[in-house]
Structure 1
Amino acid sequence: MSNSSSMAQFLLLALADRRELQLLHFWLFLAISLAALLANGLILSAVACDHHLHTPMGFFLLNLSLTDLGCICTTVPKAMHNSLWDTTTISYMGCAAQAFFFYFFISSEYFLLTIMCYDRYVAICKPLHYGTLLGSRACAHMAAAAWATAFLTALLHTANTFSLPLCQGNALGQFFCEIPPILKLSCSHSGYLREIGLIGVNASLSLGCFIFIVFSYVQIFRAVLRIPSQQGQHKAFSTCLPHLAVVSLFVSTGTFAYLKPPSISSPSLDLIVSVLYSVVSPTLNPLIYSLRNQVLREALKKMMTGHFSAYYQ
């Protein structure tokens, strides 16, 4: 039996066996990471520089971009390194750090999406109370609560998981360090039950957030359909659809990854799904917002036009 103190490293899942495919995966991950850095960087710059985006939604969008960048920077660099150098190893401490930061950023994103749903609900269903319910102090407190809750849950999960004795080898079957594959290597019944308890608490919290999102959007759509003019309905829908698209992509890929039936599970399918919810989803989020949010598009256009004008002058 090998325990957590004696295990020096873990083996990650190789993305491909052939050298040509490994290099192809390296370049794909490089392109994805650069696209994510560029898109999220533009959103961060636009929110920081344009006063029209100094709103609660702009503030939460800035926080969401930070979580997307965190997710990408946690998983992609190590995958690129392994593909480039034809290796699958990661150190024990490196694995613990990767698992912690991934869980931290992915949890923060979900909590922030829930808060952004509340922002849309207040803006459309209670517009006269928007300034009171979503003042700058209230927004800061909600964002701090989201980050702090995610940090606490990630810390508890990571500390419990990496304190368990491991006796099932060191192959994770995943291209990055994640808590469920590590739990499968454990041989501690009590520690496994503790983690199941933590997962149950976190699942209840996540379910509560999901129910709140569904309830809020039911109220939002009922309010929008009561707007007499089509132009007003279109404007209201245009502010909600980007958030709804991001929530749908996040929840659907994450739910399928963790709750898919074992009968359809396979290494290739598991790899594709894990890439979808850990890499592709954070990369697409800024594109969805920039394409559907008119204020953000105008801010990005103004910022890019100003930079090019200053460059050519």
Structure 2
Amino acid sequence: MVSQRGLEVLRAIVQDYVSSREPVGSKAIVDRHQFGVSAATIRNDMALLEEEELIVAPHTSSGRVPTDKGYRLFVDHLAEVKHISTAQKQAIDHFLDESVDFDELLGRTVRLLSQLTNQVAIVQYPTLGATRVRHIELVSLGNRRALCIVITDNGRVEQRLLDLDTDVSEADLSELRSSINAQVAGKLLTELAESVVLLSTSVSPHLSSATNHIASALSDSIQANRQQKLVMAGTANLVRTEEDFHGSIYPVLDAIEEQVILLKLLTEMKADAHEVAVSIGREHSNSGLEQTSLLATGYTSAGESATLGLLGPTRMDYSNNIASIRAVARYLTRVLDAQ
């Protein structure tokens, strides 16, 4: 059983180690923190923490560093609740509000979160379940080609190039555009292709082939978006902290590149929009990411939930990172709700 002072010593070790990357000794704790006891007393507390496998000595006669178990106790009970500054709030608000479409918004989100935390930022695309069609645009490109643009209620924009069998005039495209939007506006995106196919019997006979091409392209687009997708930024931050990884950093980079591993971990963490879930080190074993910590929280888009995540070495500023990912997720949801 760890005493209250022992827990405070653990907090000091985690904070000092995260700050300095150097093992923390009893004298350093006495010098930097106001415990009001001798270094010998702190050494006894550290010995008890070591017995509980909360800290470990990386080298003989060195200071101590936190273990995964120590970080877990720190995150669950000892980490101070931080709040981002007013300037950071304004920067988040301004940066995300400048996005012109859904894809750019998610790209800006991970770039911003990576800059705030110096970690790898990850955002998961939401599924299509509750997404509805706002408008479909058809643009002639000449040479029997056209561009089909689908705009959804959450600001998402999907584009598909159409290769048509016959020439289609501007008047034909206008008829197709009007007929399609009258049929599909407000419908679920998953119902889109089927609704367009039904139009082939109501448009002018010479446009039925073009209508079928549009339906096929929309079906392909929906199928592609059923696959869960991730957007990431800040992988270079891992290289800058390479000293935090024992041995080679390449297994970590390989695991990041293999997005299915991250998707599986994020799914298992079951993040929601009110909490930040944290998986530390060996808690996500057999993934290649055993020397990292993964933070995840939820955001919503058109009623669909998805995940925003952070990945970095276990030696990270958990308090700041938890505050940052929570704030960015809330702003992301707010921007999407406003669209």
Q: Which of the five TM-score ranges fits, normalised by the shorter chain?
A: under 0.3
For normalisation by structure 2, the TM-score amounts to 0.26
TM-score by length of 1: 0.27
| Greater relative contact order (Cα < 8 A, sep 6+) | 1
Bigger strand fraction: 2
* CA radius of gyration, larger in: 2
